[in-house]
Amino acid sequence: MTFPLTPPELGHWALALAVWLGSGLILIAAKRVALRWLTHRHPNPSQNPILLGAVKSLKSFFFWALGFAIGISYAPVHWGAAVKDVLIVVVGLQILITGSDLIVPISAFAFRRSDVVEVRAAQNALNVLLRVVLWVAVVLLILENLGVKITTLVAGLGVGGIAAGLALQNVAGDLFASLSIMWDKPFQIGDFITISTFSGTVERVGIQTTRLRSVTGEELIFPNTYLVTGQIHNYKRMEERRVLFAVGVTYDTSPEQLRAIPELIKNIIAAQSHTRFDRAHFKDFGPSSLDFEIVYYVLTPDYTTYMDIQQAINLALLNAFEERHIAFAFPTQPIIVAPNNAGEEPAVPSPPDES
């Protein structure tokens, strides 16, 4: 570029200035139109916070920088490298601003079904962690695109990250396990669950531990990593309870009585409220009993209701078997004493001679 400027050069600069200003104003106007459209389409902004937040986070300096990059291409100069570096910095800053603004609504959407204080604490901790990762990643990308050698810096960060990861391995594992529990929701506060050989009602789900109140009264505390890697039985979500039990009768029960037992049991179960009969079968010849297997459903998950129904069935079976002279079996072992020879008494040894 030479001074004084020639008329053609002045024309190019005027065009570049016009394109710069026009592009910037058009982009700013497009943002306002998008905001109005989103607000008109969703009168309640909370219905679409992520998209609305992304549009709001776009700053004016970002639009002016884009307009400058477009306009400078019409100027009689060659500033391509410098413009590229400026755009890298501007775009990186805009990514940082937009990413930081969107972390909160995205995490709020992920945790939208929980208002527990401990869950909010885990959410805030995750937000801070995500911001740190975002800033480190974007700054490194900006430096790399500006031509700065970041190999040594990345290696140092990697060694530091490994050391911090080893030191905080258990804490980080429990934190991410708690987030997994919040998102997947295998159980909630108030649910009665069984973990391995332990049972209790969930009282608190924390960042590092989950606490249960056992049926005997003591508090059970489990690391969250133990919960996400083990098998959990959630009885609160059971819609109905399947019950399997067995009845054994003695071997001297007649075939007619055996054939009548399944129908008898079916009638007894059908007479109970909140039940659905499934089956009753003569299943097996046991060591000391003829065994029947019965299956029915209790149409409510309440454990006390199930025990009341089973007690009523057991009492009804006792009465019905007594009326029909059917005996319940109990463990017995017959002993058969056989003579030495057929029809002969067993030999009795003579007493020793005392002389």
On the question of pLDDT at 235 being above 50, the answer is: yes
Are residues 231 and 117 located together in one domain of the fold?
A: yes
Q: What is the CATH number of the domain that holds 303?
A: 3.30.70.100
Output the pTM of the full model: 0.49
> CA of 54: how far to CAs of 26, 98, 121, 321, in Å?
18, 6, 24, 75
In this structure, is residue 286 part of a structural domain?
yes
In this prediction, residue 209 has a pLDDT band, given cuts at 50, 70 and 90, of: confident
Are residues 70 and 161 located together in one domain of the fold?
A: no
On the question of pLDDT at 12 being above 80, the answer is: no
pLDDT for the residue 355: 46
In this structure, is residue 186 part of a structural domain?
yes
Taking the alpha carbons at both ends of the chain, their separation in whole angstroms is 148
Question: Quick one: tokens of 15?
Answer: 């065009």
In this structure, is residue 344 part of a structural domain?
no
On the question of pLDDT at 297 being above 90, the answer is: yes
Q: How many domains does the chain have?
A: 3
On the question of pLDDT at 122 being above 60, the answer is: yes
Closest C-alpha among 107, 46, 93 to residue 65: 93
Residue 57's contacts (CB-CB under 8 Å, 6 or more residues apart) are 94, 97, 98, 101, 102
pLDDT in tens, 144-183: 777 777 676 666 666 555 555 554 556 667 777 777 777 7
> What would the DSSP string read from start to end of 152-195?
HHHHHHHHHHHHHHHHTHHHHHHHHHHHHHHHH-S--TT-EEEE
Among residues 76, 110, 144, which one ends one of the domains?
Answer: 110
Rounded CA separation 111/123 (Å): 8
pLDDT for the residue 265: 96
Rounded CA separation 78/316 (Å): 99
pLDDT for the residue 264: 96
In this structure, is residue 340 part of a structural domain?
no
Are residues 12 and 70 located together in one domain of the fold?
A: yes
Are residues 6 and 97 located together in one domain of the fold?
A: yes
Query: Which of the residue ranges 34-48, 122-136, 190-204, 253-267 has the most confident prediction, judged by mean pLDDT?
Result: 253-267
> CA of 277: how far to CAs of 32, 229, 268, 335, in Å?
66, 36, 10, 40
In this structure, is residue 328 part of a structural domain?
no
* Higher per-residue confidence, 352 vs 283: 283
Residue 70 lies in domain: 1-110
